[in-house]
Structure 1
Amino acid sequence: MKLVLLPGDGIGREISSATRLVLEAAACRAGIPLEIRELPIGHDSLARYGTTVSDEVVQEVRASDGLILGPTATMDFRDPARGELNPSMFFRKQFDLFANIRPSRTFEGIASRAGQFDLVIVRENTEGFYADRNMELGSGEMLVTSDVAISIRRITRQACERIAKAAFELAETRRRRVTFVHKANVLKISDGLFLEVCREVASGYPHIETNDYLIDAMAAHVVRDPSRFDVIVTTNMYGDILSDLTAELSGSLGLGSSLNVGSNFAMAQAAHGSAPDIAGQDIANPASLILSAAQLLAWFGRRQSSQLHIDAGQAISSALEELLRQGAWTRDVGGKLGTAAAADALCSAIRVNR
Structure 2
Amino acid sequence: MTSAQRDVATPGAGTAGRRYRLGVLDGDGIGPEIVPAAMRVVDAALRAAGAPGVAWVPLPFGRAAIDEFGTPVPDVTLTTLAELDGWVLGPHDSASYPEPHRSRLTPGGAIRRHFDLFANIRPARAFEGARAIVAGTDLVVVRENTEGFYADRNTRAGTGEFMPTADVAIAHGIVTRPGVARVAHTAFDLARRRRNRVTIVHKANVLRLTSGLFRDVCREVAEDYPDVAVDDYHIDAMTVHLLRRADEFDVIVTENMFGDILSDLTAEIAGSLGIAGSLNASHERAMAQAAHGAAPDIAGRGIANPAAVMLSGAMLLDWLGARHGDDPLRRAAHLAVAGVERTICDGTATPDLGGMAGTGEFADAVVAVISRLH
Q: Report TM bin, short chain.
A: over 0.9
Provide the rounded CA distance (Å) in 2 between the counterparts of 1:33 and 1:247: 30
Give how far 1:40 is off: 2.4
Deviating more after overlay: 195-204 vs 277-286: 195-204
Check the 8 A contact 1:78/1:85 in 2, yes or no.
no
Which structure 1 residue ranges, 4+ long, deviate > 4 Å from structure 2?
A: 77-85
Which residue number corresponds to residue 45 of structure 2? Answer: 26
Provide the rounded CA distance (Å) in 1 between the counterparts of 2:202 and 2:149: 13
Provide the rounded CA distance (Å) in 2 between the counterparts of 1:270 and 1:218: 23
Q: Relative to 1, partners in 2 of residues 1:211 and 1:46: Cα closer, same or farther, differing over 3 Å?
A: same
State the AA in 2 paired with 1:278.
I
Pick one of 197, 221, 245 that aligns with 1:225: 245
Check the 8 A contact 1:77/1:85 in 2, yes or no.
no
Which residue number corresponds to residue 210 of structure 1? Answer: 230
Which residue number corresponds to residue 108 of structure 1? Answer: 128
Give how far 1:28 is off: 2.1
Which residue number corresponds to residue 201 of structure 1? Answer: 221
Deviating more after overlay: 54-63 vs 68-77: 68-77
Give how far 1:206 is off: 1.2
Map 1:165-204 → 2, pairs under 5 A: 165-204=185-224
Give how far 1:21 is off: 1.2
Q: Relative to 1, partners in 2 of residues 1:33 and 1:17: Cα closer, same or farther, differing over 3 Å?
A: closer
Which residue number corresponds to residue 27 of structure 2? Answer: 8
State the AA in 2 paired with 1:221.
H
Q: Give the secondary structure class of the aligned counterpart of 2:130.
A: coil
Instruction: State yes or no: 1:64 paired with 2:84.
Output: yes
Check the 8 A contact 1:160/1:197 in 2, yes or no.
yes
Provide the rounded CA distance (Å) in 1 between the counterparts of 2:101 and 2:369: 47
Give how far 1:69 is off: 0.3
Q: Give the secondary structure class of the aligned counterpart of 1:67.
A: strand
Q: Give the secondary structure class of the aligned counterpart of 1:194.
A: helix
Provide the rounded CA distance (Å) in 2 between the counterparts of 1:2 and 1:214: 42
Which residue number corresponds to residue 349 of structure 1? Answer: 369
Q: Give the secondary structure class of the aligned counterpart of 1:318.
A: helix
State the AA in 2 paired with 1:13.
P
Provide the rounded CA distance (Å) in 2 between the counterparts of 1:195 and 1:39: 39
Instruction: State yes or no: 1:314 paired with 2:314.
Output: no
Give how far 1:284 is off: 0.2
Q: Give the secondary structure class of the aligned counterpart of 2:79.
A: helix
Pick one of 172, 183, 186 that aligns with 1:163: 183
Check the 8 A contact 1:53/1:85 in 2, yes or no.
no
Pick one of 137, 144, 154 that aligns with 1:124: 144
Give how far 1:30 is off: 2.3
Give how far 1:77 is off: 5.0
Q: Relative to 1, partners in 2 of residues 1:243 and 1:82: Cα closer, same or farther, differing over 3 Å?
A: closer
What do you get for the CA RMSD once the two structures are aligned? 1.4
Instruction: State yes or no: 1:37 paired with 2:57.
Output: yes
Provide the rounded CA distance (Å) in 2 between the counterparts of 1:75 and 1:344: 32
Give how far 1:57 is off: 0.9
Give how far 1:143 is off: 1.4
State the AA in 1 paired with 2:331.
D
Give how far 1:241 is off: 0.2
Check the 8 A contact 2:105/2:152 in 1, yes or no.
no
Q: Relative to 1, partners in 2 of residues 1:56 and 1:141: Cα closer, same or farther, differing over 3 Å?
A: same
User: Which 5+ residue runs of structure 1 have no aligned equivalent?
Assistant: none
Q: Per-residue CA shift, 1:273-298, capped at 9, x if unaligned?
A: 00000000000000000000000001
Q: Relative to 1, partners in 2 of residues 1:294 and 1:81: Cα closer, same or farther, differing over 3 Å?
A: closer
Give how far 1:78 is off: 8.1
Provide the rounded CA distance (Å) in 2 between the counterparts of 1:150 and 1:166: 31
Provide the rounded CA distance (Å) in 2 between the counterparts of 1:74 and 1:251: 27
Which residue number corresponds to residue 146 of structure 1? Answer: 166
State the AA in 2 paired with 1:67.
W
Q: Give the secondary structure class of the aligned counterpart of 1:53.
A: coil
Give how far 1:179 is off: 0.4
State the AA in 1 paired with 2:47.
C
Provide the rounded CA distance (Å) in 1 between the counterparts of 2:297 and 2:245: 33
